[in-house]
């Protein structure tokens, strides 16, 4: 081997070595751990302002509060950025569901968003009319299922309270409700995934759906952006079509059993379409599995049973503007280049949206506070985006990316596209950061490994080529921008808090959110000050 070749090989480690200013990391850790405001920010966001359903006055009030906080930190140009009409505003004012026969019982139940009011308490005959299948069956089968349901039940449901599923005993809880990733799990995560049809499929019908229901969450989370958009659209269309059928039939109310809704938990999402053009859904409630099953069994056995439904909700008659919260810390020599952090600000309405995703929003606000409090020199501008409409289909971040960077359908890029170095997202609950997903971007692996090195003793060391989905970094990755989501400990996010009535401040882990704030502030500082922008993958083709 020639001497010059040997010298080149010896130089490779130095070329790959990413400069990390450990004195800055030390200052960031000190500010994040000794002067943290993240839990107080989260408390005010959740305890004081409560749930933040997209388009609701609750979202708007909380957004104005967040703007005030960011302004106090010294963040510049903080504003609400409109992203076009979203859907109806809906605010819950009062609700109850009671069994009045055979014996009185207060039922643990929650109304689904965009349900119509009952205009006072109502009682009506109950009918067990199970609708089998769901949007997870794919577009064709979902449509066929609803068509068969219409043929069977059309003309038989007027004035009835419809029980929409057969009684089914919840499976026993065999997995821990609260857990952290084990060393073995993190080691396995480092391995590249086995190639499968879902990574190359263009349509939902082509997917290989997992048979195990417990695997569905991981499955959906790994889908590419285009398929996730199809999935969101299919879900919205499926529940909108169902709600329109029930409204046309004159159904008095709809009761749902959710297998997740047991042991006192309530998971409240959408009753039907949220657009003003959609037919409003009848009053729709989800009930804990145990109580729903009792009612359904009584109906099955033709035993006397009656319930009383009351729902008072305010719903606008027009589509309201969707909103994002945006602000920035101006850079220096390369201030026209941008580093972004973000999290979705909206939530569902039964809890207070603490772990989904008040935690991510509070951490990103804390990141901006830390960078400003330390008065760190930032060559690039650092911008925060707190998104609305994530729960309904990543609407806020998708609209922002389309407006500022590129439309994934045409891939016509704006001048800003070349100026974004990277986007960092947090949206998997309150768990500490254990590493980062590369989203297939192999070129950033050595960079992120170096940036994580000062946090190995805090549990953050895993770098995986794998994709993760279901949240706002996908909007950026869809147009070829470096968008990343961090690996977080599961805690009780998937088992207890996600979209549930127990998604409250009590389930946020202080130490984990402080650690996340320090890790992300370091990543942002490094991105804002490194000589080159973060490497990108090849620009994707139009969708």
Mind giving me the DSSP string for 278-342? SPPBPPEEEE-HHHHHHHHHHHHTT---EEEEEEEEEEEEEEEEEEEEEEEE--STEEEEEEEEE
Between vectors from CA 466 to CA 510 and to CA 471, what angle results, nearest 5°? 55
Is position 126 within any domain?
Answer: yes
Say whether both 243 and 301 belong to one domain: yes
| 208 vs 205: CA distance, rounded Å | 8
Task: Residue 107: name the closest of 251, 323, 246, 253 by CA.
Answer: 253
pLDDT at 164 over 60: yes
What's the pTM value of the predicted model, to 2 decimals?
Answer: 0.94
Say whether both 368 and 421 belong to one domain: yes
At a CB cut-off of 8 Å and minimum separation 6, what does 286 contact? 109, 110, 112, 255, 256, 257, 258, 261, 266, 267, 268
Say whether both 248 and 367 belong to one domain: no
Question: Can you give the CATH number for the domain in which 327 is found?
Answer: 3.40.630.10
Is position 118 within any domain?
Answer: yes
Give kind and range of the element (H or E) at residue 453: none
Res 207: pLDDT: 76
Instruction: Select the more confidently predicted residue: 384 or 140.
Output: 384
Res 7: pLDDT: 40
**414-430 per-residue burial string, b: 16 or more CB within 10 A, e: under 16:** eeebebbbbbbbbbbbb
Domain total of the chain: 2
The model's confidence at residue 102, banded by pLDDT at 50, 70 and 90, is very high
Question: Can you give the CATH number for the domain in which 246 is found?
Answer: 3.50.30.30
Decide which of 295, 318, 341 is a domain's last residue: 318
Is position 540 within any domain?
Answer: no
Decide which of 318, 346, 361 is a domain's last residue: 318
Instruction: Name which of 32-36, 229-233, 505-509 the model is least confident about.
Output: 229-233
Say whether both 376 and 311 belong to one domain: no
Is position 7 within any domain?
Answer: no
In angstroms, what CA-CA distances link 103 with 110, 308, 430?
A: 21, 12, 41
Is residue 115 within 8 Å of 311, Cβ to Cβ? Answer: yes
Say whether both 212 and 298 belong to one domain: yes
| 349 vs 18: CA distance, rounded Å | 44
Mean pLDDT to the nearest integer, 278-294: 95
Res 223: pLDDT: 74
Task: Residue 56: name the closest of 26, 90, 5, 98 by CA.
Answer: 90
Mind giving me the DSSP string for 192-259? PPPP-GGGT-SSGGG----SSGGGHHHHHHTS-HHHHHHHHHHHHHHHHHHHHHHHHHT-SEEEEE-T
| 389 vs 395: CA distance, rounded Å | 5
Decide which of 318, 340, 359 is a domain's last residue: 318
Say whether both 270 and 341 belong to one domain: no
Say whether both 98 and 110 belong to one domain: yes
The model's confidence at residue 9, banded by pLDDT at 50, 70 and 90, is very low
Say whether both 51 and 148 belong to one domain: no
The model's confidence at residue 148, banded by pLDDT at 50, 70 and 90, is very high
In the predicted model, what is the mean pLDDT of the chain? Answer: 92
Is position 231 within any domain?
Answer: yes
Mean pLDDT to the nearest integer, 228-245: 89
Chain-centroid distance of CA 217 in Å reads: 12
pLDDT at 197 over 60: no
pLDDT at 395 over 60: yes
Is residue 384 within 8 Å of 67, Cβ to Cβ? Answer: no
Is position 205 within any domain?
Answer: yes
Say whether both 268 and 354 belong to one domain: no
Instruction: Name which of 9-18, 132-141, 212-221, 390-399 the model is least confident about.
Output: 9-18
Res 381: pLDDT: 98
Is position 258 within any domain?
Answer: yes
The model's confidence at residue 215, banded by pLDDT at 50, 70 and 90, is low
pLDDT at 11 over 60: no
Say whether both 212 and 330 belong to one domain: no
At a CB cut-off of 8 Å and minimum separation 6, what does 81 contact? 323, 324, 325, 326, 400
Domain that holds residue 438: 12-87+322-529
In angstroms, what CA-CA distances link 90 with 114, 187, 276?
A: 6, 45, 11
Instruction: Name which of 58-62, 145-149, 222-226 the model is least confident about.
Output: 222-226
Say whether both 61 and 97 belong to one domain: no
Task: State whether residue 67 is helix, strand or coil.
Answer: helix
Long-range contacts of residues 369-373, Cβ cutoff 8 Å, at least 24 apart: 369/37, 369/73, 370/28, 370/31, 370/32, 370/517, 370/518, 370/521, 371/329, 371/521, 371/524, 371/525, 372/73, 372/74, 372/75, 372/329, 373/31, 373/35, 373/73
Tokens 């490779």 found at:
12
Mean pLDDT to the nearest integer, 451-458: 98
Mean pLDDT to the nearest integer, 11-16: 45
Task: Residue 365: name the closest of 70, 67, 78, 64 by CA.
Answer: 70
Give the tens place of pLDDT for each residue, 302-359: 999 999 999 999 999 999 999 999 999 999 999 999 999 999 999 999 999 999 999 9
Is position 3 within any domain?
Answer: no
Say whether both 103 and 188 belong to one domain: yes
């Amino acid at each position: 081997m020639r001497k010059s070749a040997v010298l080149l090989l010896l130089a490779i480690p130095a070329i790959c070595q990413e400069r990390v200013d450990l004195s800055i990391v030390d200052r960031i850790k000190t500010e994040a751990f000794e002067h943290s405001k993240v839990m107080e920010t989260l408390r005010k966001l959740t305890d004081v302002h409560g749930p933040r359903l997209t388009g609701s006055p609750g979202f708007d009030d909380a957004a104005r509060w967040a703007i005030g906080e960011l302004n106090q930190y010294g963040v510049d140009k903080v504003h609400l950025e409109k992203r076009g009409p979203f859907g109806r505003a809906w605010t819950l004012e009062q609700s109850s569901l009671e069994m009045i026969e055979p014996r009185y019982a207060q039922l643990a139940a929650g109304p689904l968003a965009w349900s119509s009011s009952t205009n006072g308490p109502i009682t009506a005959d109950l009918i067990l009319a199970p609708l089998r299948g769901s949007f997870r069956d794919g577009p064709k089968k979902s449509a066929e299922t609803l068509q068969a349901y219409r043929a069977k039940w059309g003309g038989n449901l007027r004035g009835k309270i419809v029980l929409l599923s057969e009684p089914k005993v919840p499976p026993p809880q065999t997995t821990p409700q609260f857990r952290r990733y084990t060393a073995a799990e993190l080691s396995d995560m480092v391995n590249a995934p086995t190639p499968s049809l879902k990574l190359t499929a263009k349509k939902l019908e082509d997917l290989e759906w997992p048979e195990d229901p417990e695997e569905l969450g991981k499955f959906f989370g790994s889908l590419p952006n285009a398929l996730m958009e199809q999935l969101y659209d299919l879900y919205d269309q499926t529940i909108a079509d169902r709600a329109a059928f029930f409204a046309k039939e004159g159904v008095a109310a709809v009761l749902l059993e959710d297998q997740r809704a047991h042991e006192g938990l309530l998971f409240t999402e959408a009753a039907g379409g949220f657009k003003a053009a959609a037919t409003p859904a009848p009053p729709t409630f989800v009930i804990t599995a145990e109580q729903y099953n009792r009612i359904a069994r009584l109906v099955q056995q033709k035993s006397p049973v009656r319930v009383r439904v009351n729902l008072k909700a305010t719903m606008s008659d027009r589509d309201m503007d969707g909103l994002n919260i945006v602000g920035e810390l101006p850079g220096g020599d390369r201030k026209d280049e941008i580093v972004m952090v973000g999290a979705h600000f909206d939530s569902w309405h039964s809890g207070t949206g603490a772990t989904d995703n008040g935690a991510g929003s509070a951490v990103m606000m804390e990141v901006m506070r830390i960078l400003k409090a330390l008065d760190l020199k930032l060559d690039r501008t650092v911008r925060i985006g707190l998104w609305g409409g994530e729960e309904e289909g990543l609407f806020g971040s998708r609209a922002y990316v389309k407006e500022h960077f590129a439309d994934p359908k045409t891939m016509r890029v704006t001048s800003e596209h070349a100026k974004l170095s990277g986007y960092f997202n947090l949206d998997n609950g309150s768990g500490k950061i254990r590493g980062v997903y590369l989203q297939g971007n192999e070129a950033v692996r050595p960079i992120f490994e170096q940036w994580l090195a000062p946090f190995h003793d805090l549990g953050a060391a895993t770098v995986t080529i794998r994709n993760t989905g279901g949240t706002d970094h996908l909007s950026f990755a869809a147009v070829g921008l470096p968008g990343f989501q961090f690996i977080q400990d599961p805690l009780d996010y998937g088992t207890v808090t996600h979209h549930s009535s127990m998604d409250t401040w009590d389930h946020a882990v202080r130490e984990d959110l402080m650690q996340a704030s320090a890790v992300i502030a370091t990543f942002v500082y490094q991105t804002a000050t490194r000589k080159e922008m973060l490497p990108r993958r090849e620009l994707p083709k139009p969708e």
